[in-house]
Amino acid sequence: MDYKEIKADVVIIGGGGAALSAAINVGKDLDTLILDKGQVGKSGCSPNAHGGLAVHYKDPNDGPEIHFEDTLLSGGFLNNQDLVRILVQNTSEIVPMLERYGALFDRDEQGNLLVRRFGGHRYARSVFCGDETGHEMMNGLRREVYRLGIRYIDEAFVTRLLHDENGEIAGVFFYYLPIGEFYVVKSKSVVLATADAAGLWPAASERQRGDGIYMALMAGAEIADIEFIQYHPTHAWWPPGVRGSVSEAFRGEGGWLLNSKGERFMKRYDPENMELATRDKVSVSIMMEIRAGRGAPHGGIFASVTHLPAKYVKKRLPVIYQKYKNFGIDITKEPIEVRPRPHYLCGGVVIDENAATKVPGLFAGGAVTAGVHGANRLGSNALTDILVFGKIAGKNAGEFARSREYHSPNKNEIEREIKRIKEIFDKPWGKDSISIGKVRRELIELMDKDVGVIRNESGLKDAIEKLNYIKHEISPRVTLRDKSKTFNFEVKDILELPFRIELGIASATAALMRKESRGTHFREDYPHRDDENWLKNIVFFLKDGELKVETREVELKYKKPTDFPEYAKSRSPWH
Ligand SMILES: Cc1cc2nc3c(=O)[nH]c(=O)nc-3n(C[C@H](O)[C@H](O)[C@H](O)COP(=O)(O)OP(=O)(O)OC[C@H]3O[C@@H](n4cnc5c(N)ncnc54)[C@H](O)[C@@H]3O)c2cc1C
């Protein structure tokens, strides 16, 4: 036997906020195991979230119903309305829960929670901890996981979900990166919490590589809405060393966006909301200014908080302030240069209200899923999503595990996975060989160029053709140079390649099919929203081993576009 076998009632794949929230809620009577290909609680997007968590309806006019509407309006009504209802109805317990775990949020001198407003939210409803909200949240969740004694394994790269002979989930296969060994975990249920696939594009974080979305698809689940890649409008662009997104808190605290003429150009695109328009709209507006030759000197656009009191900026935006300070730039005195960068794939694995996928025993929560955010995610709704749906996924995976015995994972699936990995190690470097680094770079550049903020038919067709070329002609030549079994990250990158290529093709295919503009999907050849023909989700699934795609009417269960006359009247992709 080439692999070791372990057992756990419930396996959670991922170690970010959704995973930890799931693990905490499985139930103490069950044996839960968390597997993360990085470090549990430290390596996903969650610890890096800066700006806030949309949970607190402080304004007396605000409440779950308004939050529900804002989420649909931003999502272009492609959201699953039942999931959005669940999201907004479960916000009140979040701050008390996190504070019980030891995560503390910023409050005023009277002890009232402070909130900031993010783009597209009608009210300030996002609690925060300076601009280190995710870090604080994860510290709390991690402490609770430790307190409950939940088992976890770091550097455990899950590469395949395993079925029993009836097609139900029976466990997972993982490659243990520290020593290069194979493991099978036999389990009664599985929760996927592996984040989204923004890393198919040159995402700032590079953490979201689509593993869970691809594995779920291959295991028989459906995936949807993967044409909607959200670009974060204000990614630090210059100097090149200042990496990462400039949190939306920057705009939420009153920051301005300026073109080379010093104009607050958002007045041209959205005079009502200005810099606090939704991310999709701000990203397209910035790209339009850059295209019109009104960009900043290094290819970005200016963002400025110099009009705000310096003391306020340092208190509310300490991480951004310090980050630039390290490069000799004082953001209280001079504007910075930013540019939209890929940030979040709004689609993913299709789940129902119980966070269950179509595959019995497989649950999913957080950024890996589709449905909550529709065509565009509101800033600060992601952290709410991972806590609410992580919990639901964990609870229901626990219930499912209690209702059944262990089943035996299919031996053929295990053998095929071992063979696939061994072949990577056995393949010698030859004259046609090519390194994974080169292919990865080509892939993300191609996605950015042709499947990015502004799209059109010829670019999308070109992308699909090139992706297929990479799949058939280039990827068979990819060869491992470092044959070491110890912490071999090159082999990890090679194992991720099919995830990247297949999801890239699917995303470009869906973007080509959607002949309209909506949310983050902006087609310059179809620049308007088309509610008559395109209130539909694009869904991918396997049938008899073949990848199929179809459109499905959205169920407008509680609200429809015509309930918002201004929105319905407008043909703008936004409103
Ligand atoms: C810089 C930045 C700032 C952000 N700011 C905010 C904000 O202010 N407010 C907000 O609401 N949202 C914000 N977001 C988005 C938000 O942080 C994420 O959407 C959310 O944290 C995702 O949580 P998750 O648990 O689903 O995934 P993650 O936290 O990304 O965790 C996924 C985990 O899965 C693991 N994993 C992946 N594949 C495998 C595999 N095959 N096997 C084993 N493990 C695997 C990864 O190692 C990772 O630890 C921000 C994101 C970024 C990158």
Which residues touch 52 (CB under 8 Å, ≥6 apart)?
115, 116, 118, 126, 127, 128, 133, 248, 249, 252, 379, 380, 383
How does pLDDT run across 308-332, given as a tens digit for each residue? 999 999 999 998 999 999 999 999 9
CATH code for the domain in which residue 468 is found: 1.20.58.100
Which residues touch 238 (CB under 8 Å, ≥6 apart)?
296, 297, 298, 300, 336, 337
C-alpha span between 297 and 502 (Å, rounded): 37
Distance from Cα 16 to the centre of ligand 1, integer Å: 6
The CA–CA distances, whole Å, from 437 to 24, 441, 478, 511 equal 37, 6, 9, 26
Contact 161 CB / ligand 1 (< 6 Å): no
Closest ligand 1 atom, residue 38 Cα: 47
Which residues touch 274 (CB under 8 Å, ≥6 apart)?
264, 266, 267
Distance from Cα 44 to the centre of ligand 1, integer Å: 4
Contact 364 CB / ligand 1 (< 6 Å): no
**499 in a structural domain:** yes
Let me know whether 336 and 434 are in one domain: no
**45 in a structural domain:** no
Q: Whose CA is nearest to atom 6 of ligand 1?
A: 49
Backbone angles phi, psi at 214, to 5 degrees: -70, -45
**117 in a structural domain:** no
Q: Which contiguous run of DSSP H or E holds residue 7?
A: strand 3-13
CB 144 within 8 A of CB 80: no
Confidence of residue 64 (pLDDT cuts 50, 70, 90): very high
SS3 state of residue 229:
strand
Instruction: Select which of 50, 160, 232, 377 is catalytic.
Output: 232
C-alpha span between 333 and 173 (Å, rounded): 53
Q: What percent of the chain has pLDDT over 90?
A: 92
Tell me the best of 20, 39, 40, 46 to mutate to test the pocket of ligand 1, counting ligand atoms within 8 Å of each CB and taking the most: 46
pTM of the model: 0.95
206 pLDDT exceeds 80? no
Confidence of residue 51 (pLDDT cuts 50, 70, 90): confident
Amino acid in the structure at residue 390: G
Residue ending a domain, among 342, 363, 392, is: 342
pLDDT score for 392: 98
Token pair recorded at residue 217: 């698809």
Mean of pLDDT values over 539-548 = 95
The CA–CA distances, whole Å, from 83 to 352, 373, 392, 540 equal 8, 9, 11, 20
Closest C-alpha among 165, 152, 245, 239 to residue 193? 152
Closest C-alpha among 551, 562, 541 to residue 217? 541
C-alpha span between 367 and 21 (Å, rounded): 13
CB 50 within 8 A of CB 133: yes
Tell me the best of 42, 43, 45 to mutate to test the pocket of ligand 1, counting ligand atoms within 8 Å of each CB and taking the most: 45
For the purposes of burial, counting CB atoms within 10 Å of the CB of 486, is it exposed (0-12), middle (13-18) or buried (19 or more)?
exposed
pLDDT score for 188: 98
Closest ligand 1 atom, residue 381 Cα: 11
Q: Whose CA is nearest to atom 5 of ligand 1?
A: 49
Confidence of residue 278 (pLDDT cuts 50, 70, 90): confident
Residue ending a domain, among 297, 323, 342, is: 342
Closest ligand 1 atom, residue 52 Cα: 8
CB 526 within 8 A of CB 455: no
Closest ligand 1 atom, residue 203 Cα: 53
**166 in a structural domain:** no
Residues in the chain: 575
pLDDT score for 217: 98
Q: Among this protein's residues, is 232 annotated catalytic?
A: yes
Cβ atoms within 10 Å, residue 564: 16
Closest ligand 1 atom, residue 157 Cα: 42
Q: Among this protein's residues, is 251 annotated catalytic?
A: yes
Closest ligand 1 atom, residue 194 Cα: 34
362 forms bridges with which residues in the sheet? 190
The 8-class DSSP code of residue 454 comes to E
Distance from Cα 81 to the centre of ligand 1, integer Å: 23
For 430-454, b/e burial (b = at least 16 CB within 10 A) is eeeeebbeebbeebbebbbebbbbe
Average pLDDT, the chain: 95
Contact 342 CB / ligand 1 (< 6 Å): no
Token pair recorded at residue 277: 């328009």
**134 in a structural domain:** no
Tell me the best of 33, 133, 194 to mutate to test the pocket of ligand 1, counting ligand atoms within 8 Å of each CB and taking the most: 194
Q: Which contiguous run of DSSP H or E holds residue 173?
A: strand 169-176
Mean of pLDDT values over 394-400 = 98
575 pLDDT exceeds 90? no
C-alpha span between 320 and 246 (Å, rounded): 7
pLDDT score for 204: 64
In total, how many domains does the chain have? 2
CB 537 within 8 A of CB 78: yes
C-alpha span between 473 and 56 (Å, rounded): 52
- Angle subtended at Cα 37 by Cα 12 and Cα 209, rounded to the nearest 5 degrees: 95
How does pLDDT run across 445-492, given as a tens digit for each residue? 999 999 999 999 999 999 999 999 999 999 999 999 999 999 999 999
Let me know whether 235 and 338 are in one domain: yes
The CA–CA distances, whole Å, from 235 to 3, 149, 336, 339, 450 equal 43, 38, 10, 5, 19
Cβ atoms within 10 Å, residue 461: 13
pLDDT score for 205: 64
**145 in a structural domain:** no
Mean of pLDDT values over 156-183 = 97
Distance from Cα 208 to the centre of ligand 1, integer Å: 7
pLDDT score for 573: 87
Mean of pLDDT values over 132-142 = 96
C-alpha span between 306 and 349 (Å, rounded): 42
Let me know whether 336 and 432 are in one domain: no
Instruction: Select which of 163, 251, 500, 518 is catalytic.
Output: 251
Q: Whose CA is nearest to atom 3 of ligand 1?
A: 49
Greater pLDDT, 308 or 571 = 308
How does pLDDT run across 522-536, given as a tens digit for each residue? 999 999 999 999 999
How does pLDDT run across 325-383, given as a tens digit for each residue? 999 999 999 999 999 999 999 999 999 999 999 999 999 999 999 999 999 999 999 99
Distance from Cα 433 to the centre of ligand 1, integer Å: 33
Q: Whose CA is nearest to atom 10 of ligand 1?
A: 380
Residue ending a domain, among 528, 545, 570, is: 528
Mean of pLDDT values over 204-212 = 81
- Angle subtended at Cα 303 by Cα 301 and Cα 309, rounded to the nearest 5 degrees: 165
Which residues touch 522 (CB under 8 Å, ≥6 apart)?
280, 284, 453, 454, 455, 573
Q: Whose CA is nearest to atom 50 of ligand 1?
A: 49
245 pLDDT exceeds 90? no
**521 in a structural domain:** yes
CATH code for the domain in which residue 248 is found: 3.90.700.10
The 8-class DSSP code of residue 478 comes to B
pLDDT score for 249: 86
Contact 236 CB / ligand 1 (< 6 Å): no
Contact 36 CB / ligand 1 (< 6 Å): yes
**261 in a structural domain:** yes
Task: Give the structural domain span for 260.
Answer: 231-342
